Structure 1
Amino acid sequence: MNKLSAFLRGPGGRGMAIGLALLLVQAIAIVFAPWIAPYSPVTADPLNALLPPSWQHLFGTDVSGMDIFSRVIYATRINLLISVTAVAFAFALGVPIGLVIGYYRGWASSLAMRLFDFVQSFPVFVLGMVLVSVMGQEIWNVAIVLAVLFTPVFARLIRAEVLSLRERPFTAAARCSGATDIDIMFRHILPNALTPAIVQISISIGMAILLTAGLSFVGAGVRMPVPEWGLMVSNGAQQMILGIWWVALFPGLAIVFSVLTFALLGDSAKQKFDPHSRTLP
């Protein structure tokens, strides 16, 4: 407990504490959604369509009569499942790729970098729409597409660190002691190269949430009646001009809440683990 208090009192501790508190709220929504949500998130009730917020429907109902509060709670599962899964796969793929192409310099490394340049030369959102349209508008397809888009980010971060670390004296000492390339890469270089990639995880999850919501907003993500924040905002945007503001407002606030959570965690992690980012008080 004392170690945790000392950790939170250090650089970026306040932002870390706030971010963890917001993350805890979302974790509670994910785990206890069936008990928190008063209605089914996918059952339509046309007789109660577009009801304003009330004690019976805290966030009102949408055009199909579905309870918005229940859908926002369940959408936390969908959005975070897609985002966290995508970033986890991107991290698992990008780290070893970046380690190998940073340690071994040759035509394979150059080919991988040109492939990353090609992928990142397209606008992320446009490329995401194309890939999801080709693969199909399913939850796991969206996660796979986001993993493909984020893999070059982690690979480049690790490669940049490895290019520096492979020339350090401790690497030469390990090589002189008879260590193999595998030992040098995974026992000596990788532990010292992971910090930027770990910091990038929170930032990438926030970006993945925005991309997931954006794809669904334009009709290229998941489909109705799946509860997803961007899809809910898209359905409610059409009624905004008629003064029916609650359909789009509450899922939009949920997106802001979730992205802010991971932005705070990412910024605080950068201050704590990256000494170059720390500023004097």
Structure 2
Amino acid sequence: MSEKVLINEQLINREEASFSFDDRSMYFGDGIYEVIRIYGGFPFQMEMHMQRFQRSAEELDIPFDYDVKQSLTNSLLELLKENELNEGIIYVQLSRGSADRNHLYERHTEPLIFAFTKPMERPQQAMSEGIATYLTEDERWLRCDIKTVNLLGNVMAKRKAADHDCQEALLHRGDLMTEGSSSNLFIIKGDVVQTHPANNYILNGITRQLVLDYIEEHGKSVVFEPIQVEDMKNIDEAFITSTTSEITPIVELRGTVHHKLTVGPLTKSLQKRFDEDVVKTEQGE
């Protein structure tokens, strides 16, 4: 069976898909995207993803109203069913559309939506054993709250981390930690959980939002303040969150700061709580 992809409202064979040479996402990175996890053939927290997708579109002045959101949601579900994906992701991207190359965009351009599915197993080993991370300067633009396809800063940081045998880059602006190159960061010191506030310096991750609810269920409070780089030497636990990483513990810091950690009790407890929601999704709840 040929794999299907979504181009606007049409499902076509992947090998038949094509895009305009003048698409603005290619020239300017003028577009947004979402990655939605699939468990047991069902999308995980799809409505939260689609709400953020709509917000990102509005922030970039790309037309995307409620009716378009509902139509896209139905099309993604149809794509998921057509490709018979049991475990993996849906990637969906919205471009402002095609036009002659010009920094000044026009508002009459017809947007382009495309999506595909990809099999992907859960990162069980990383979640169990933890990962090494590399601390480096955050050189991205100042609207990290919008999930755009402008990811060059993230890409370069991820490459630097891999070159130092680390699985993720942890970014800091000067003396203040922000987030990972493709994840959000949480640290734990004693009974205190700390993470960066959801402002323009970070993307307010869907998994991040779920974890904040889990922490509240555990009766713990969260300090929403940027973490000092030097304070990373004295933390007890740390983990990253993302759609594909889920809740992954950090066991080593390299780069700007060097420090070793163990997978702590709160991290394990939050992972267990996340698994409960995964099971509900797999059961179609």
TM-score, normalisation: structure 1: 0.26
Larger radius of gyration: 1
**Given the two structures, how large is their TM-score scaled by the length of structure 2?**
0.25
Name the structure, 1 or 2, with higher relative contact order (CA <8 Å, separation 6+).
1
Q: Give the structure with the higher percent helix.
A: 1
